[in-house]
């Protein structure tokens, strides 16, 4: 199959491209390098099957350009990862998130419409659920995700609505090929490629596990816990962390099963939560390093508990995580970051 991966020079998109190439697909990566890095593309050029990789630097907001790339490469399906994903940043710059995540996704969907793309897998987020009452956790897909508490969640939920409305309209048109889509709501992606080739090259880091690992490596003075008075067992936020390889495996399982005219939505996580204090303890345990920890005020837009019930995708597709240990997730991040002190630009050891 010929598959476009938007945001394929980024953290998750590059891991997805590697897996798709390994499975024998032709992969077309489109990325504007706003957060993606050329080093990820260069790393992908070294894997078996890289002769089936096409790389195009382009903004998905360029609808006409995207139509051209889709048509020139005879793309059959799209995995859409391109987006900003810093929920705290979204609180302070909401319009940037609506433009990049929502308006650009609209242009991408319009390009798919013109090019008659029939399958679309969308990278969404647990942030669409907002603040969920404790008695409804772990979260199932049928929880009403109408109340995100940050612009990031709103920007992604708007795309979910666009896909649903567009699919309904297009599938009523008997003169067009049907359109099937899947929405995959992530519950905190973490870790790095277990082969050691790909990682998360970002400065500054926005995800909690790389931030804690940086402290363990001595690359930052310490870690600040933003909020210690949440209604959780130890007072810190609780989240569900899924290894990036498992996340990508779920995308492949969904794409392989998705048929035109189908609508699917799945939660992707391990099905249990870890608190910030538990992450800190696990990082100390895995790395053998100690580092200062300070306590700060709550950050805007952070719910107390977010972890999922992933049983629906297990029931329908037989998918489940291989990595269910937080220590193993942290270990893969530690090893890649230790070997790449300046990201893809450098290697140690």
- pLDDT tens digits, residue range 271-311? 999 999 999 999 999 999 999 999 999 987 677 888 999 99
Active site residues: 152
* Token pair of 325 as six digits: 């240990």
Phi-psi region of 24 (alpha: psi -120 to 50; beta: other; left: phi over 0): left
Domains of the chain as residue ranges with CATH = 2-344 (3.40.50.720)
Sign for the pseudo-dihedral over CA of 225, 226, 227, 233 = negative
Tens digit of pLDDT for each residue in 144-188? Answer: 766 788 999 999 999 999 999 999 999 998 888 899 999 999 999
pTM for this entry:
0.95
**pLDDT (0 to 100) of residue 149:** 87
What is the mean pLDDT, run by run of 10 residues, along the chain of 349 residues? 98 98 98 97 97 98 98 98 94 97 98 97 93 88 82 96 97 91 96 96 93 97 96 95 98 96 96 97 98 92 86 97 96 97 77
- Provide the β-strand partners of residue 5: 29, 79
**pLDDT (0 to 100) of residue 348:** 53
Q: Whose structure tokens read 């800190």?
A: 280
State the helix-helix crossing angle for 151-171 and 104-114, rounded to 10 degrees.
20
């Amino acid at each position: 199959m010929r598959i476009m991966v938007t945001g394929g020079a980024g953290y998750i998109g590059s891991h997805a491209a590697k897996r798709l190439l390994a499975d024998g697909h032709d992969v077309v990566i489109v990325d504007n390098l706003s957060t993606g890095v050329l080093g990820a593309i260069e790393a992908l050029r070294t894997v078996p099957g890289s002769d089936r990789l096409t790389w195009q630097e382009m903004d998905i907001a360029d609808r006409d350009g995207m139509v051209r790339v889709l048509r020139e490469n005879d793309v059959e399906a799209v995995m859409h990862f391109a987006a900003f994903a810093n929920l705290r940043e979204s609180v302070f710059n909401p319009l940037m998130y609506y433009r990049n995540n929502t308006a650009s996704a609209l242009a991408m969907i319009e390009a798919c419409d013109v090019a008659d793309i029939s399958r679309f897998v969308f990278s969404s987020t647990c942030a669409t659920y907002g603040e969920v009452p404790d008695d409804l956790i772990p979260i199932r897909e049928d929880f009403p995700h109408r109340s995100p508490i940050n612009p990031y969640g709103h920007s992604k939920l708007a795309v979910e609505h666009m896909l649903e409305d567009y699919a309904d309209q297009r599938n009523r048109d008997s003169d067009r090929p049907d359109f099937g889509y899947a929405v995959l709501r992530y519950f905190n992606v973490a870790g790095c490629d277990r082969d050691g080739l790909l990682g998360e090259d970002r400065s500054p880091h926005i995800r909690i596990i790389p931030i804690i690992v940086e402290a363990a490596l001595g690359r930052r003075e310490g870690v600040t816990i933003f909020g210690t008075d949440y209604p959780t067992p130890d007072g810190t936020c609780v989240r569900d962390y899924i290894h990036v390889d498992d996340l990508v495996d779920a995308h492949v399982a969904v794409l392989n099963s998705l048929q035109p005219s189908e609508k699917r939505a799945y939660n992707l996580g391990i099905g249990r939560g870890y608190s910030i204090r538990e992450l800190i303890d696990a990082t100390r345990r895995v790395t053998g390093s100690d580092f200062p920890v300070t306590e700060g005020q709550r950050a805007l837009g952070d719910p107390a508990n977010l972890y999922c019930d992933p049983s629906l995708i297990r029931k329908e597709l037989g998918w489940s995580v291989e990595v269910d240990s937080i220590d193993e997730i942290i270990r893969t991040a530690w090893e890649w970051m230790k070997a790449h002190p300046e990201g893809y630009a450098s290697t140690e050891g």
